[in-house]
Amino acid sequence: MVTGFNTEITLSNVVYHIQTETRKDAGIETTVYVHGAVIHKLKTSYQSSAGAPDFTDDKLKHLVEDQHRQVIAKLRGGEIKLPSASPPPL
Protein backbone atom coordinates (compact mmCIF):
# COMPACT_ATOMS: atom_id res chain seq x y z
CA MET A 1 0.00 0.00 0.00
CA VAL A 2 1.36 3.40 -1.04
CA THR A 3 1.00 6.11 1.59
CA GLY A 4 3.08 9.01 0.27
CA PHE A 5 6.27 11.01 0.49
CA ASN A 6 7.41 13.92 2.67
CA THR A 7 10.46 16.05 1.96
CA GLU A 8 11.86 19.22 3.47
CA ILE A 9 14.18 21.42 1.46
CA THR A 10 15.72 24.81 2.24
CA LEU A 11 16.00 27.45 -0.46
CA SER A 12 17.20 30.99 0.29
CA ASN A 13 16.85 30.32 4.03
CA VAL A 14 13.20 29.24 3.65
CA VAL A 15 12.20 25.70 4.66
CA TYR A 16 9.63 24.14 2.34
CA HIS A 17 7.75 20.98 3.31
CA ILE A 18 6.53 18.95 0.32
CA GLN A 19 3.92 16.25 0.98
CA THR A 20 2.54 13.89 -1.67
CA GLU A 21 -0.14 11.33 -0.93
CA THR A 22 -2.82 9.27 -2.61
CA ARG A 23 -6.49 10.10 -2.14
CA LYS A 24 -9.54 7.84 -1.99
CA ASP A 25 -10.83 9.31 -5.27
CA ALA A 26 -7.86 7.86 -7.23
CA GLY A 27 -6.04 11.15 -6.97
CA ILE A 28 -2.47 12.06 -6.16
CA GLU A 29 -2.12 15.29 -4.24
CA THR A 30 1.09 17.23 -3.62
CA THR A 31 1.05 20.15 -1.21
CA VAL A 32 3.88 22.59 -0.50
CA TYR A 33 3.92 24.24 2.93
CA VAL A 34 5.97 27.06 4.45
CA HIS A 35 5.52 27.50 8.22
CA GLY A 36 2.36 25.38 8.01
CA ALA A 37 0.74 27.54 5.32
CA VAL A 38 -0.13 26.02 1.94
CA ILE A 39 1.65 27.86 -0.87
CA HIS A 40 1.05 25.37 -3.70
CA LYS A 41 -1.15 22.37 -4.40
CA LEU A 42 -1.18 19.96 -7.33
CA LYS A 43 -3.76 17.20 -7.74
CA THR A 44 -3.73 14.66 -10.54
CA SER A 45 -5.80 11.56 -11.18
CA TYR A 46 -4.74 7.98 -11.77
CA GLN A 47 -8.36 6.89 -12.28
CA SER A 48 -7.79 5.80 -15.89
CA SER A 49 -4.83 3.60 -14.88
CA ALA A 50 -6.33 2.20 -11.68
CA GLY A 51 -8.73 -0.12 -13.49
CA ALA A 52 -6.07 -1.73 -15.67
CA PRO A 53 -5.38 -5.39 -14.86
CA ASP A 54 -1.62 -4.75 -14.71
CA PHE A 55 -1.91 -1.76 -12.35
CA THR A 56 0.04 -2.53 -9.17
CA ASP A 57 1.07 -0.80 -5.97
CA ASP A 58 4.56 -0.46 -7.49
CA LYS A 59 3.13 1.45 -10.45
CA LEU A 60 1.15 3.69 -8.12
CA LYS A 61 4.27 4.28 -6.01
CA HIS A 62 6.13 5.32 -9.16
CA LEU A 63 3.36 7.79 -10.11
CA VAL A 64 3.33 9.29 -6.60
CA GLU A 65 7.11 9.55 -6.45
CA ASP A 66 7.30 11.05 -9.94
CA GLN A 67 4.79 13.78 -9.07
CA HIS A 68 6.62 14.47 -5.80
CA ARG A 69 9.94 14.87 -7.62
CA GLN A 70 8.38 17.09 -10.32
CA VAL A 71 7.03 19.51 -7.72
CA ILE A 72 10.43 19.62 -5.96
CA ALA A 73 12.11 20.36 -9.32
CA LYS A 74 9.62 23.19 -10.00
CA LEU A 75 10.29 24.59 -6.54
CA ARG A 76 14.05 24.46 -7.04
CA GLY A 77 13.67 25.91 -10.54
CA GLY A 78 11.75 28.93 -9.28
CA GLU A 79 8.41 27.98 -10.84
CA ILE A 80 6.78 27.79 -7.39
CA LYS A 81 7.38 30.89 -5.29
CA LEU A 82 6.34 32.24 -1.94
CA PRO A 83 3.26 34.41 -2.20
CA SER A 84 3.92 38.13 -1.81
CA ALA A 85 3.33 39.51 1.67
CA SER A 86 1.49 42.47 0.18
CA PRO A 87 -0.25 43.06 -3.13
CA PRO A 88 1.86 44.55 -5.92
CA PRO A 89 1.54 48.30 -6.51
CA LEU A 90 -1.03 49.38 -9.07
Q: Enumerate the domain spans of the chain.
A: 4-76
Res 85: pLDDT: 59
List, for the chain, all residue ranges whose pLDDT scores fall below the cut of 70.
1, 85-90
How do beta strands 37-45 and 27-34 pair?
A: antiparallel
Res 86: pLDDT: 44
* The overall pTM is greater than 0.85: yes
Q: What number does CATH give the domain 4-76?
A: 3.30.1450
Report the Cα–Cα distance between both ends of the chain, in Å, rounded.
50
30/17 Cα distance (integer angstroms): 10
